[in-house]
Amino acid sequence: MKINWFPGHMNKALKDISEQLKKVDVVTYVLDARIPLSSFNPSLDKLTQNKPTLFVLNKIDLADEKRVKDLLKQFENKNTDFVFYNSTLSGKSDIILNKIKQLAHEKVEKYLSKGVKTTVRTMVVGIPNSGKSTLVNSLCRKAKTETGDRAGVTKRGQWVSVGDCVEVYDTPGTLYPNIENQNIAKKLAYVGSVRDEILDFVEIGGAFACDIVKIYPDVLKNRYEIDSFQDGFDVLNQIAKKRKFLCSGNEIDLERAGRTIIDDFRKGRLGKLTLD
């Protein structure tokens, strides 16, 4: 199964982002801390590479923080900054707003030297289901954009004011037209950045099981009491038998087992994990 998902609204979104970037001082790039490298969209990178960028590592409560810190060292430069973020908690909005202003300090100081207080504009970008709209609502301190725990909720961009001289452009989550690297595609599927309806959960669940034990060998043992297995299908078979997942005719329900392991990962029941 080749994973590829690029609905029409994403193509429109990329064109809109390209147009709106002319008005933007700082890009706020939301990454999923469970796949911080695979969260980078090459199409967005081409559009935003000349702008100061704040990387927001969202869902850090579900991720391996030490692993994330080690990965981010290779991207540090004077034109970027980072912040770890848990969208389920409050209290980070002021930190994020201050970092946005700091990255736009040249513009701010230029206007202050003339006795004028200027507005800093930022655009929030990222892959689907990374938490962009939730972040915008947190900055606004109230719900101004629609959110949801699935890919493809936001369909078009909108400007919102988030307080003291800062405006934010919320954008739809975007992937890219042809995901050639299927290892990245699988990780996007694992975290819910690809619409579940197009996935085969037997394949995805089995692939996840094989991938995760390479990085975190004890995960399957700790959660499912699985000490050894032949392949991903064997993992799902063992989970289904232990959980008594049966479909019509008393056959083993591998799809339910696949959905279970993916859901356990997404909800943090397997522990704090980072796959990159």
The CATH number of whichever domain residue 148 belongs to comes to 3.40.50.300
Please check whether residue 178 lies inside any domain of the structure: no
Instruction: Looking at the structure, tell me whether residues 45 and 109 fall in a common domain.
Output: yes
What confidence score (pLDDT) does residue 43 get? Answer: 76
What confidence score (pLDDT) does residue 92 get? Answer: 75
Instruction: Looking at the structure, tell me whether residues 149 and 234 fall in a common domain.
Output: no
Is the pLDDT assigned to residue 25 strictly greater than 70? yes
Please check whether residue 76 lies inside any domain of the structure: yes
Instruction: Looking at the structure, tell me whether residues 25 and 147 fall in a common domain.
Output: yes
Please check whether residue 273 lies inside any domain of the structure: no
The mean per-residue pLDDT over the stretch 53-68 comes to: 94
Distance CA 132, CA 179 (A): 21
Instruction: Looking at the structure, tell me whether residues 233 and 127 fall in a common domain.
Output: no
Higher-pLDDT residue of 60 and 10 is 60
Please check whether residue 80 lies inside any domain of the structure: yes
- The CATH number covering residue 253 comes to 1.10.1580.10
Q: Which of 170, 191, 212 is the last residue of a domain?
A: 170
Q: Which of 170, 190, 210 is the last residue of a domain?
A: 170
Is the pLDDT assigned to residue 144 strictly greater than 70? no
Please check whether residue 63 lies inside any domain of the structure: yes
Instruction: Looking at the structure, tell me whether residues 122 and 165 fall in a common domain.
Output: yes
Instruction: Looking at the structure, tell me whether residues 140 and 17 fall in a common domain.
Output: yes
pTM of the model: 0.86
Q: How many domains does the chain have?
A: 2
Instruction: Looking at the structure, tell me whether residues 101 and 220 fall in a common domain.
Output: no
Instruction: Looking at the structure, tell me whether residues 116 and 213 fall in a common domain.
Output: no
Please check whether residue 89 lies inside any domain of the structure: yes
Domain that holds residue 238: 200-266
Q: Which of 151, 170, 189 is the last residue of a domain?
A: 170
Please check whether residue 66 lies inside any domain of the structure: yes
Instruction: Looking at the structure, tell me whether residues 161 and 205 fall in a common domain.
Output: no
CB 130 within 8 A of CB 139: no
Is the pLDDT assigned to residue 129 strictly greater than 60? yes
Instruction: Looking at the structure, tell me whether residues 13 and 110 fall in a common domain.
Output: yes
Instruction: Looking at the structure, tell me whether residues 46 and 162 fall in a common domain.
Output: yes
Instruction: Looking at the structure, tell me whether residues 137 and 212 fall in a common domain.
Output: no
What confidence score (pLDDT) does residue 153 get? Answer: 47
The mean per-residue pLDDT over the stretch 177-199 comes to: 89
Is the pLDDT assigned to residue 148 strictly greater than 60? no
Eight-state DSSP code of residue 55 = E
What confidence score (pLDDT) does residue 90 get? Answer: 65
Please check whether residue 274 lies inside any domain of the structure: no
